[in-house]
Each structure stands twice: as C-alpha cells, then as structure tokens.
Amino acid sequence: MPQLPEVRLTAKGWRWQRTGHPWLYRDDLAAAPGLPGGELVRVLDHQDRFLGQALYSAKSRIALRFLTYADDVVDRGFWEQRLQRAVAYRRQVVADTDAYRLIYVEADGFPGLVLDHYAGHLALQVLHPAMERLLPDIIDLLTTGLSPCSITLRNDAEVRNLEGLPLEVATVWGELPPLVEVRQGGVRQLVDLRGAQKTGLFLDQRENHLAAAAYAKGEALDCFAYQGSFALHLAPRCQRVTLVDSSAPALARAEENARLNGLDNLEPVKANVFNFLKKAVAEGQHFDVIVLDPPAFAKSRREREAAIKGYHEINRRAFQLLNPGGVLITCSCSYNLSEPDFLEVVRSAAADAHRPARLIERRGAARDHPALLALPESLYLKCFILEAL
Ligand SMILES: C[S@@+](CC[C@H](N)C(=O)[O-])C[C@H]1O[C@@H](n2cnc3c(N)ncnc32)[C@H](O)[C@@H]1O
C-alpha cells in the first residue's frame, strides 16, 4: 500500500480536534499540503502524533473531514463494513415505510455522502471530492450489496459549488421510471427522484408527518406544504386541508397524491405563505391544525436576525388563526437557530398573538437521520407541537 500523504495540525487545530468535532478548517493546518483535493490523508498533531485519517478538500473552508481515528486500511472491506452497519441500523429504526435515508454523512461514517432509498431506487448525493473520486467503487458496493432497481446521482445540491464540483443529475445504474411510488405508514406518494426538491421527499420529517396525524381534526392548514406529506397524513381525519406552497409542480404532485390515496379534501393554494397568512388573519379565518415547515430562513449566521423576524411573523399569525384547542406543528431546519432560540421565537410569537399555549411535543429529525453528537451541524431540525388555549 502506498504511504498516505500527511497533514499536520497547528496546536489550536489539535485543541479543536480534541473536542471530537470531525471537521478541521484550513487555518487549523500547520502548512498547506499542496494536494489537488479529494485525498485520504493521515492527520498528525502539532507534535507529530497520529490522530487519524481524514478526507482532504483543497477548495472548501473545511479542509479535513475525519474518517477514522485508527490506522485502518481504507479499502473495499472498510466501506463494506460501514455500509452493512448503516443498513443494519435502518432495519432497527425504520418501520412501515419504503422511503428512508440509508446513509447520512458523518453520522454513518461516510463524510460527504447521502444515500436515500425510495422503494428499491437509490438517490445518491456526493458532497466531497474524495467521495467523487470513490464513486465507481461506491456504486459497485451499492449494486452488489443492495441490488437496487436504479441509482440516480442527485448532484445538483449547491453545496457542491463550495467543493468546486459540477452540478449534475444522472441515472448511473438501472432504470428509473419518471415517478416512483412509495409508502409512508398508510399514505402512498409518487416521487420524482430526478427533478423534485432534495432527493425527492423531505425524509427528515418522516416521523413528524406520522406524529402530526395524531392531532388531525376539523380545518387544517399545511404551510410550505411541498407535495403534501403533512397534508396527506392529516386529511383522512380532517374536513379539509388547505396546502400553501410557492411551487406549482409540488402542488400538482400533491393533487396527484391526493387522488392516489382516494382523498378529495385537499385544497392546494399557490401563494407566498407570508402573504397568505396575513390575508387569512385580515379575513378572520380560523383553523384547527396548522403546520409551518418553511425552508431554512437562516442559512448562515449573518441571516439569523432576518430569519428570526420571519419565523416570528409566521408563528404569530398561525397563533392568531388557531381556534381554541387548535394545534400548531411548527418547524425550523435552520442550524443557525438553536432549539432554545427557536422555542423563544415561538414563545414570543404566542405572546404577541395574546394566545397562551402549551408545548405538547419537542421533536427532531427522524431516526434514520441520526445526529453525530460531536457535529452540532447535524442537529438542525426542530419540530414543536403546541396547543393554543
Ligand atoms: C422544507 S420544504 C417543506 C417540506 C414539506 N412540509 C414536507 O414535509 O414534505 C419548504 C417548502 O416551502 C416552499 N416555499 C419556500 N418559500 C416559500 C414561501 N415564501 N411561500 C410558500 N412556499 C414557500 C418550497 O417550495 C418548499 O416546498
């Protein structure tokens, strides 16, 4: 085996590494390694002690992503073992669905790799140049280990730009039909793995969709509905569910999914949620259940203040719109807004709407999206279920 390149940390980098965080930033390196990027490297501390092996990026601010803290041989057997562990874990925690996340970056020991499973079809996102280099081996591993119907690269995520990787979508194995039918609990959905948002569905919300169903009643409003994953779970026990989203294709798919499930009480509205909620309050409308699941308003720390205003506004209006005893399911997927901070935004929104409320459930991402304890960035999704009194 050829000797791996070595990368030395500064004393400050070493102290940061001791916290367990698997990422090291460029200024944590004692010297530029002079590598093109995408290499597996041995990481040494400032006193030349071996710390582990990491994936190196020449472009991103995140220079190193730790892969292992041992002197393992990183070969096919190494990756095979990690894949088997990821599959075994999903067998334990995923029930009653055929759409779930199978590999979730560092939390599964695959930095820069996301793999979603949709009824036998795989959607793969490669987010690091080292994984891009390994792609032929990974595809081989997936075809032999999982016997999928197809594998599609969803490499259109903009974070690839930070690594200097091109954006592309391509089916690289098998045949992918235009739409794949999946099941979440009792709900059937058609998913476009090539063109839809994310890799097809917002799978991180999977268990929250099911949790929401327990509160279904009367008139429901699903804001930022996408293709209706919350609405479809609410609809069987509601008189009507109004879905609001700015994406016409997502709403069209929601209608198709409603028909697939024999539901005729979904009402899609193409609108900006901010405008919709403002008008609904002005018109004196009321709802028994409201879901708020916006995109990340705070994608960076700089956007935090504006994001807080946005979250406050939609939550305040939702409290104004709820009937007594009404339920609010409110989410934030902004990593830059912590759970206590989001709770504070929701609290002040309720106060400003003059609505006492009680917190019924504090939830996060589904268990197939485990957060790595040392990587707070992976603890991004918050979902509170509250009752307005
Ligand atoms: C996080 S996704 C929602 C996921 C969905 N609730 C689910 O569980 O599958 C956010 C959605 O908000 C929509 N969106 C973004 N900004 C919007 C806005 N200002 N008004 C309405 N919809 C918006 C996007 O099209 C996207 O479908």
Going by the DSSP 8-state scheme, the letter that residue 9 receives in this structure is: B
Residue 299 has pLDDT above 90, yes or no: no
pLDDT attached to residue 1: 60
Mean pLDDT of 359-369: 98
Ligand 1 atom nearest 331 alpha carbon? 1
What average pLDDT does the structure give for the chain?
Answer: 96
pLDDT score at 134: 96
Please write the tens of the pLDDT for every residue from 38-49. Answer: 999 999 999 999
- Whether 229 lines ligand 1, by a CB cut-off of 6 Å, is yes
In CATH, the architecture of 76-174 is 2-Layer Sandwich (3.30)
Indicate which residue's Cα is closest to atom 6 of ligand 1. Answer: 225
Q: Answer yes or no: is pLDDT of 307 > 70.
A: yes
Active-site residue, from 223, 331, 333, 383: 333
Is the CB–ligand 1 distance for residue 205 below 6 Å? yes
Distance CA 317, CA 70 (A): 52
Q: Is the pLDDT of residue 106 over 70?
A: yes
Ligand 1 within 6 A of CB of 226:
yes
Model pLDDT, residue 381: 97
pLDDT at 302: 87
Q: Is 204 in the pocket of ligand 1 (CB under 6 A)?
A: no
Q: How many CA atoms lie within 13 A of 211 on its CB side?
A: 22
Distance 369 CA to ligand 1 centre (A): 20
Q: What's the alpha-carbon Rg for the chain, to the nearest Å?
A: 22
Strand residues in 69-142 grouped as ranges (E): 99-104, 113-118, 121-126
- Domains 6-68 and 202-388 belong to one CATH topology: no
| Contact of 272 with 294, CB cutoff 8 Å | no
User: What are the structural domain ranges in the chain?
Assistant: 6-68, 76-174, 202-388
SS3 assignment, position 232: helix
Pick the residue whose CA is nearest to atom 4 on ligand 1: 226
* pLDDT tops 90 at residue 378: no
H or E element that contains 313: helix 304-321
Query: What's the topology of domain 6-68?
Result: 2.30.130
Distance 251 CA to ligand 1 centre (A): 10
Q: Which of 245, 269, 290, 299 to mutate to test the pocket of ligand 1 (most atoms within 8 A of CB)?
A: 245
Q: Is the CB of 177 under 6 A from ligand 1?
A: no
Structure-token pair, residue 41: 């490297």
Q: Which helix (H) or strand (E) holds 63?
A: strand 62-68
* 202 pocket-lining for ligand 1 (C-beta < 6 Å): yes
- Taking only the tens place, the pLDDT of each residue in 30-71 is 999 999 999 999 999 999 999 999 999 999 999 999 999 999
**How many Cα atoms within 13 Å fall on the side-chain side of residue 233?**
21
Selection from 205, 215, 214, 375 nearest residue 295 by Cα? 205
Could you give the percent of the chain with pLDDT greater than 70? 99
Check pLDDT > 80 for residue 327. Answer: yes
Q: Is the pTM of this model over 0.85?
A: yes
pLDDT per residue over 228-274, tens digit each?
999 999 999 999 999 999 999 999 999 999 999 999 999 999 999 99
Tell me the torsion sign for CA atoms 16, 204, 344, 299. Answer: positive
Question: Which pair of structure tokens corresponds to residue 377?
Answer: 């960035």
Q: Hey, is 236 helix, strand or coil? A: helix
Ligand 1 centroid to residue 224 C-alpha, Å: 3
Tokens (6 digits) for 389: 């009194």
Q: Which atom of ligand 1 is nearest to the CA of 272?
A: 20
pLDDT tens-digit map of 118-170: 999 999 999 999 999 999 999 999 999 999 999 999 999 999 999 999 999 99
Count CB neighbours of 73 within 10 A: 10
Active site residue 333: yes
Is the pLDDT assigned to residue 2 strictly greater than 70? no
Tell which residue, 366, 284, 374, has the closest CA to residue 321: 284
CATH, domain range 202-388: 3.40.50.150
Distances (CA, A) of 109 to 80, 86, 357, 370: 11, 9, 41, 12
- Ligand 1 close to Cβ of residue 250 (< 6 A): yes
